[in-house]
Structure 1
C-alpha cells in the first residue's frame, strides 16, 4: 500500500483479524475519528475467542474475563513518544449474542456523541519518529495503561493490557494510524505490518514480510 506506515504487530500469540483495511476502506465503515485504515485484533486459541460457551453466549452478555484477549499485554508497534493517554473507563460486558448485539448497535450514536473516550475507551497515542505519524492503541483494560505522556517507548514495550473499554463488544486491540494526535480532527493513514505469519480461512499459513492481514485470518509475529 503506497505511503503506508510500517508497524510490528502489537502483541504476542495468535489473534484473529477483524475490520481489516485489506477487505474494505474505510475499514470501520466511516472516515470519522481517523478510523479509515484502522484494524482490530481478537486473541484466539485455534479460532476460538473464549474457552466458554453457555446460555449467556446465546442470549445475553458475558464477563470480559472469559475471553482469551482480556488482560494480555499490548505492545508498542514502533518506536516513538507517548503524547496522550486515557485510563479509568470501565471494561464492558462482552456480546456475542445477536440479541445483545442489536441492543448495543442502537446505542452507537450516543457513544459517538459522547466523544473520544466513549469510543476508544482507555487508550494510548504514540507519536512515531516520522513526522506527522501517530498511532492509537485502543480499548485497553481499565487501570492497565503503563506509560505516561512524554515517555519514550521502543518497539515491543508494553503500553497497557487488552480490555473491552469504549466502543467494544468483546476484548480486542484496535490499531490506527493518523496524521495528527487528535482523532477528532486528524485523517487516517494507511498501515502495514512487518514479519508475521498469517493463517488463512482455508488453512494455508504464509509468511508475510510486509502487508495488511486479511479479514478473518489468524496472525502471529514471525
Structure 2
C-alpha cells in the first residue's frame, strides 16, 4: 500500500518515538490498525521533555508540567473531519516506578476498545486515508464532524488522555474510520519518516 504524505501536525520542536521507520508494527501490535503509527513528544530548546527528578521517578506528575501539554495540534493535510471526541479526562503523567504500574493495566484499556486507548481524538478523511490524531487535551478540540479543514488548521491541543504516560501526540493513518476492520496505511512527512529519537523542528 502506498504511503500517504503529510505535513507535521505541530510547530516547534518535537521528538519522534515509536516510529515505523525503525520497526513495523511500530507500537508492537497491529491492534486497531496501529502498525504504522508514530508518536511525537514536545521538547524544549535543548531537546528535553520535563526534567526527571526523584519525585518523578516515584510519583505521578501533573500533565501541565510537560512542555507539550496544551500545544496546538494541526491538521496534517486538507480534508474532512469524520470524527471528533473531546470528553475524556487528562490524567497525571507517569514515569519511573509509576509507569510500571500503568503498563500492567494496558491490557485492560485495550480490552475496553479504541476510545480507552486514543482518548480525545480527531479523524480527518484526506482522500488517500483517514488520519487519526490522539491523546488530545480535554475541552480543546476545535472542530466537528463534517467540517472541512486545510493543512495547518488547529484541531485541538496536545493532552494526556487515553493510553498515555506523558503528554504526546499519537498519529496514524487507516483506510476506514471503522477501527474494527481498518487496515494501517503507511505515512511519510514531506517524503521522509523520522527515526526514534530524532527531533523535528517544524516552522
Question: For this structure pair, what is the TM-score category when the shorter chain's length is used for normalisation?
Answer: over 0.9
Equivalent residue for 1:137, pick from 133, 137, 148: 133
Equivalent residue for 2:122, pick from 121, 124, 130: 124
Does structure 1 residue 218 correspond to structure 2 residue 203? Answer: no
Matched position secondary structure for 2:108: helix
Mean Cα deviation higher: 54-63 or 154-163: 54-63
Q: Distance in 2 between matches of 1:75 and 1:34?
A: 22
Mean Cα deviation higher: 148-157 or 85-94: 85-94
Count of residue pairs brought into register by the alignment: 202
Q: Distance in 2 between matches of 1:87 and 1:221?
A: 26
Q: Distance in 1 between matches of 2:201 and 2:6?
A: 13
Q: Distance in 2 between matches of 1:73 and 1:182?
A: 26
Does structure 1 residue 176 correspond to structure 2 residue 172? Answer: yes
Q: String of CA shifts for 1:138-194, please: whole Å, max 9, x gaps.
A: 000011110000000000000000000000000000000001012222011100001
**Structure 2 unaligned regions, length at least 5:** none
Q: String of CA shifts for 1:42-75, please: whole Å, max 9, x gaps.
A: 000112111x443321211100000000000000
Q: Distance in 2 between matches of 1:86 and 1:169?
A: 20
Q: Distance in 1 between matches of 2:130 and 2:87?
A: 22
Q: Distance in 1 between matches of 2:195 and 2:48?
A: 17
Which residue of structure 2 lines up, in the alignment, with residue 206 of structure 1? none
Q: In the TM superposition, what is the alpha-carbon distance from 1:129 to its structure 2 partner?
A: 2.7
Q: String of CA shifts for 1:69-111, please: whole Å, max 9, x gaps.
A: 00000000000000011111011110121x1111011101110
TM-score scaled by length of structure 2: 0.97
Q: Distance in 2 between matches of 1:182 and 1:163?
A: 23
Which residue of structure 1 lines up, in the alignment, with residue 10 of structure 2? 11
Matched position secondary structure for 1:102: helix
Mean Cα deviation higher: 53-62 or 210-219: 53-62
Does structure 1 residue 91 correspond to structure 2 residue 87? Answer: no
Does structure 1 residue 160 correspond to structure 2 residue 156? Answer: yes
Matched position secondary structure for 2:91: coil
**Structure 1 unaligned regions, length at least 5:** 195-209
1:104-119 map, 5 Å: 104-119=102-117
Matched position secondary structure for 1:211: coil
Root mean square deviation of aligned Cα: 1.1
Matched position secondary structure for 2:12: coil
Which residue of structure 1 lines up, in the alignment, with residue 187 of structure 2? 191
Q: Distance in 2 between matches of 1:54 and 1:212?
A: 32
